[in-house]
Amino acid sequence: MIDYNIIKRPILTEKTNIQKDQYNQVTFEVDSRANRIEVKRAVEQIFNVKVADIRTMHVEGKFKRRGRILGKRRNWKKAVVKLMPGQRIEFFEGA
């Protein structure tokens, strides 16, 4: 059984594109309650790749101001997944 609720979305920034090209690492936003084993299992089953290593971290939401009103973005969890040599995950293959 594949749990698609663990991996929420890929993080696609300039930094993550460099990590993907140079170090074969892919970054995802994951469920804040998920641990490394669950994230590894989900990535391997969803994308059919072998995972070498996973680093997870909690990202604090930034404080944002709109005039006098002060708000805060939500906290979230990030996972940096290092793939085995020869494995790739392509998000925009046809673009």
Q: What is the pLDDT of residues 33-53, one digit of tens each?
A: 999 999 999 999 999 999 999
Domains and CATH numbers, the chain: 7-83 (3.30.70.330)
Contact between 44 and 51 under an 8 Å Cβ cutoff? The reply is yes
| pLDDT band (50, 70, 90) for residue 2 | confident
Helix, strand or coil, per DSSP, at residue 89: coil
**What are the tokens at 37?**
């084993």
At position 60, the amino acid (one-letter code) is E
At position 61, the amino acid (one-letter code) is G
> Residue 94 pLDDT more than 70?
no
Measured CA to CA, the distance from residue 70 to residue 92 in angstroms comes to 37
Please state, as a whole number, how many other Cβ atoms lie within 10 Å of the Cβ of residue 56.
16
